[in-house]
Structure 1
Amino acid sequence: MQKHNISFELSEVESIAALAPDERNLMQKAIAAREGAYAPYSNFHVGAAVLMENGAIVIGSNQENASYPSGLCAERVAIFHAGALYPGETITAIAITASAKAYTVDRPAAPCGNCRQSISEYETKQKAPIRILFMGAVGPVFIAEAMADLLPLAFNSTFLK
């Protein structure tokens, strides 16, 4: 039997203020999007902002539904919206931020498994990585250079040939 060690690196900056101006702007768009979340059941609000290669920014927020799992996460709302608005355009980055009504989210909230798979699909489709920036409501920002860093050994269309 062989054992494999799969590892990855994340960058961390102490706060949104430490980001480069274009990334700070993207995260501020995600924060604004978070305010549009519809989360009456979890009270956990997530905003996402997708940066397209053409400079456009597309936002999304989580949208819950009493009939779980009919809602959608902010990341998928934003990335699917970007794909619909700009088919064939490359997504270069996504910023994600989360807050809660009852407590302060002070650490980065990573995308869930479904969102990781969806972002990975777009990386495969466009043959280019998507930079992922994620944070809580306050505190540090984690930065991954590609979804492959957060979802190693991802299932993709190459398995379906």
Structure 2
Amino acid sequence: MTVQPTQGGAHAVDAGRLWAGGAATAVVAGLIAVVGILVARGVFDVPVLAPEGEGTWGDADTPQYALWCALAALLATGLMHLLVISTPRPLRFFGWIIALATLAAAFAPFVTNGSTSSKVATAVINLAVGIAIGTLVSGAARSAMRTRRTGPGYPQVRY
């Protein structure tokens, strides 16, 4: 496919590199969730995502929560890919979107029923996951983006 890019600088993205970074970020996000729950339940005895009687690992909600965190990382990677190929300053837009989504996730536990300690622990885990997703996907995108020069004197870009 031949792309007739506009004049000036534009971003080309190595999609394989970006998505490999996104997949690795998904693993990290899921593990942050699991470790956060283990620390909250096992060390601080805070019932996160399950009643106290469920033990350190909690119940079926623990792996489901980790999978949702991993999915969030993959969605963030898709968003980044879309921003890189369609917007100016994609890293800035991504930063704002992820920061606001992370804040929403961090404050979400406070509008639910439960103990204050459980709400705080869940908020801290959500914040850690959001920060990890934001920084790791941004880093993957930075390493996957190549500025291409287009216009007079520059060849057409082929994908």
User: Could you state the TM-score of these two structures normalised by the residue count of structure 1?
Assistant: 0.26
Q: Normalized per residue, which structure has more strand? A: 1
Q: Normalized per residue, which structure has more helix? A: 2
Q: Which has the larger radius of gyration?
A: 2
